[in-house]
C-alpha cells in the first residue's frame, strides 16, 4: 500500500488531518476517509504550516502501522461479539456471568464507544477514578481493571494493537478510600449453635456441615452425589450452578475430602431421612411437575429454613461461603497451611504448592479429625446435636 501524506483542514476552530485507512464496516473491511483532530486553533497553531509537524508525526504512525483493521471496531462490539462468546465456551457459568455483569455495568458504558486501538491508559485511569467517585466499591473497581486487561490481552493477540494493553501498569488503581471490610467468619461455637438450632432439618444441617466440616462451596454441595461418598471420603468432581452442571472451578478442586465423625453422622441422618438412597444428589428434592429427584436449590433452602431459623435464634448468618472461611481459619490456627489446602483443594498455599495429591494427605485427614473432635467439644455429643428433641442449650452469638 502506497505511503500517504494526508492533508490538513480547518473546521470549527480546530485543525484536522484527513487520510484513508481500513475500517471494519458491517463485518467487512473497507477503505474509509478519516478525519482526526490535530490541535485547536490558538496562538501556537495559527496557520497551517504550524500544524504540519503534527500531521507528519501522525502519518508516520499511520504508514508504519500494522494494526489489523478489526482493531477499529469499538470496545463494545469486540466484547459482545468476540470476547464474551469465547468466555462462555471456556469458563464456568458463574465466572462468565461475573465477567458479563461487570463489563456491561461499568466498563462498556464508559469506554464502549471507543475503537480498540484508541483506548489509552489515561482513558482507563479516568474511568477507574470516575467509578470511585460514583461510589463503586474498590473491589469491583479492581475486578473491572482485571477484566479490562483480559479483554485487551485477547485483542492484542488477535489484532496486534500498537499501543499495547491500556489496562496494564500505567493505569494504576485509585487509592482505596477507607478501610477494607472484614469478611465474616463465624466461630466454631457459632457453627455448633447453628446445627443445634436446625435440629429436625437434616437437609439444612447437611448443607451447613458440608460447607464447614467439608469446606465445600455451594455449587459443589449441589453437585455432591451419594455414589461418590464412601463414609470415609467424599469425591468432589462436579459443581452445579443455577441448574447447570459442569466441572469444578479448577482441576485442583476435583479431589476427595476427608469426612470427620460429626459430618458422617449428619450425612447418615440425612440419608436415613431420604429413604437410604445409594445414588443421586446428596441434597435432593422432588420436582413437583415431573416427580423426578433433582438436586435441592440451596438458595430456597436458605430462604425457607436456614435464615429464618438462625435469625429467630439470634445467630448471625452470612451465607454458606462464610462457613468455608471459618473452616480454613480453624484448621490453620492449629496446623500448617497444607492442611487447609488439602480440605479446600487449592492449587497453592497462596491459593499452597502446585503439586496436586490425588489421595487424601494424612495431614489433612488428621486436621479434619481434630476439627471434628474440637467441634463436638462445643456441645456434648453427636447424639445430642442430632436429637430431634434437643436438650436446652445456651446459644452463644
Exposure string (b/e) for 83-110, b if CB count within 10 Å is 16 or more?
A: bbeebeeeebbbebeebbebbeebbbeb
In angstroms, the first-to-last Cα distance of the chain is 75
Q: How many CB atoms lie within 10 A of CB 307?
A: 14
pLDDT digit string, tens, across residues 178-201: 766 767 788 888 999 999 999 999
Q: What is the pLDDT of residue 80?
A: 95
> Could you give all domains of the chain from N- to C-terminal order, each with its CATH number?
7-65 (no CATH), 75-159 (1.10.150), 188-386 (1.10.443.10)
Which residues face 272 on adjacent strands?
none
Q: Distance (Å, rounded) from C-alpha 19 to C-alpha 13?
A: 20
In the predicted structure, residue 358 carries a pLDDT above the cut 60: no
Q: Mention every residue, 6+ apart, whose C-beta is less than 8 A from residue 2.
A: none
Is residue 228 a contact partner of residue 237, using CB atoms and an 8 Å limit?
yes
Least confident range from 4-13, 243-252, 353-362: namely: 353-362
- Rounded to 5°, the CA angle 216-320-330 comes to 70
Q: Mention every residue, 6+ apart, whose C-beta is less than 8 A from residue 336.
A: 363
Secondary structure of the chain in HEC code, one letter for each residue: CCCCCCEEEEECCEEEEEEEEEEEECCEEEEEEEEEEEEECCCCCCCHHHHHHHHHHHHHHHHHCCCCHHHHCEHHHHHHHHHHHHHHHHCCHHHHHHHHHHHHHHHHHHHCCCEHHHCCHHHHHHHHHHHHHCCCCHHHHHHHHHHHHHHHHHHHHHHCCCCCCCCCCCCCCCCCCCCCCCCCCCCHHHHHHHHHHCCCCHHHHHHHHHHHCCCCCHHHHHHCEHHHECCCEEEECCEEECCEEECCCCHHHCEEEECCHHHHHHHHHHHHHCCCCCCCECCEEECCCCCCEEECCHHHHHHHHHHHHHHHHCCCCCCHHHHHHHHHHHHHCCCCHHHHHHHHCCCCCCCCCCCCCCCCCHHHHHHHHHHHHHHHHCCCCHHHHHCCCCCCCCCCC
pLDDT digit string, tens, across residues 272-325: 999 999 999 999 998 888 889 999 999 999 999 999 999 999 999 999 989 988
Q: What is the pLDDT of residue 352?
A: 35
pLDDT digit string, tens, across residues 213-272: 998 999 999 999 999 999 999 999 899 988 888 888 888 788 899 999 999 999 999 999
Q: Distance (Å, rounded) from C-alpha 270 to C-alpha 284?
A: 10
Is residue 372 a contact partner of residue 213, using CB atoms and an 8 Å limit?
yes
Comparison of pLDDT for 373 and 336, the residue scoring more: 373
Closest CA to 158 of 95, 91, 74, 69: 69
CA distances to 32, 227, 325 from 69, in Å: 11, 54, 48
Task: Give the largest Cα separation in the chain, rounded.
Answer: 94
User: φ, ψ for residue 128 (rounded to 5)?
Assistant: -65, -40
Angular region, 213: left φ>0, alpha ψ -120 to 50, beta rest: alpha
pLDDT digit string, tens, across residues 63-87: 766 556 777 888 999 999 999 999 9
Q: Distance (Å, rounded) from C-alpha 195 to C-alpha 205?
A: 6
pLDDT digit string, tens, across residues 10-35: 998 999 999 887 766 666 667 778 78
> Region 356-373: what's the mean pLDDT?
63
Query: What is the pTM for the complete model shown?
Result: 0.68
In the predicted structure, residue 367 carries a pLDDT above the cut 60: yes
High-pLDDT (> 70) share of the chain, %: 82
Closest CA to 78 of 161, 22, 20: 161
Is residue 260 a contact partner of residue 368, using CB atoms and an 8 Å limit?
yes
Comparison of pLDDT for 371 and 131, the residue scoring more: 131
Pairing of strands 284-286, 293-295: antiparallel
Amino acid at each position: 500500500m502506497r505511503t500517504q501524506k494526508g492533508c490538513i483542514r480547518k473546521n470549527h476552530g480546530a485543525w484536522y488531518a484527513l487520510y484513508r485507512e481500513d475500517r471494519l464496516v458491517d463485518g467487512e473491511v473497507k477503505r474509509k476517509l478519516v478525519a482526526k483532530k490535530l490541535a485547536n486553533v490558538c496562538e501556537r497553531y495559527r496557520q497551517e504550516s504550524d500544524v504540519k509537524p503534527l500531521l507528519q508525526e501522525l502519518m508516520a504512525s499511520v504508514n508504519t502501522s500494522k494494526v489489523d483493521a478489526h482493531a477499529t471496531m469499538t470496545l463494545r462490539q469486540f466484547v459482545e461479539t468476540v470476547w464474551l462468546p469465547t468466555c462462555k465456551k471456556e469458563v464456568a457459568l458463574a465466572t462468565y456471568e461475573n465477567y458479563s455483569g461487570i463489563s456491561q455495568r461499568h466498563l462498556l458504558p464508559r469506554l464502549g464507544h471507543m475503537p480498540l486501538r484508541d483506548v489509552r491508559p489515561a482513558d482507563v485511569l479516568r474511568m477507574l477514578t470516575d467509578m470511585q467517585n460514583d461510589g463503586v466499591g474498590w473491589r469491583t473497581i479492581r475486578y473491572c481493571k482485571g477484566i479490562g486487561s483480559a479483554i485487551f490481552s485477547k485483542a492484542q493477540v488477535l489484532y496486534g494493537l500498537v499501543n499495547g494493553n491500556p489496562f496494564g501498569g500505567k493505569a494504576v488503581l485509585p487509592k482505596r478510600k477507607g478501610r477494607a471490610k472484614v469478611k465474616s467468619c463465624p466461630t466454631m461455637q457459632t457453627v455448633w449453635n447453628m446445627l443445634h438450632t436446625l435440629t429436625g432439618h437434616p437437609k439444612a444441617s447437611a448443607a451447613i456441615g458440608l460447607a464447614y466440616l467439608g469446606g465445600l462451596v455451594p455449587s459443589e454441595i449441589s453437585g455432591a452425589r451419594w455414589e461418590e461418598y464412601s463414609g470415609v471420603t467424599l469425591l468432589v468432581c462436579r459443581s452445579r450452578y443455577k441448574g447447570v452442571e459442569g466441572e469444578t472451578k479448577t482441576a485442583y478442586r476435583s479431589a476427595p475430602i476427608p469426612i470427620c465423625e460429626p459430618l458422617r453422622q449428619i450425612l447418615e441422618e440425612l440419608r436415613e431421612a431420604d429413604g437410604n438412597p445409594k445414588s443421586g444428589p446428596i441434597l435432593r428434592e422432588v420436582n413437583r411437575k415431573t416427580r423426578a429427584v433433582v438436586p435441592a436449590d440451596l438458595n430456597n433452602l436458605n430462604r425457607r429454613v436456614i435464615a429464618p431459623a438462625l435469625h429467630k435464634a439470634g445467630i448471625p448468618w452470612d451465607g454458606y461461603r462464610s462457613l468455608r472461611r471459618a473452616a480454613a481459619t480453624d484448621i490453620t490456627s492449629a496446623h500448617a497451611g497444607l492442611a487447609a489446602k488439602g480440605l479446600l483443594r487449592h492449587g497453592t498455599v497462596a491459593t499452597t504448592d502446585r503439586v496436586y495429591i490425588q489421595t487424601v494427605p494424612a495431614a489433612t485427614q488428621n486436621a479434619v479429625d481434630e476439627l471434628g473432635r474440637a467441634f463436638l467439644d462445643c456441645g456434648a455429643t453427636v447424639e445430642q446435636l442430632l436429637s430431634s428433641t434437643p436438650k436446652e442449650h445456651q446459644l452463644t452469638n
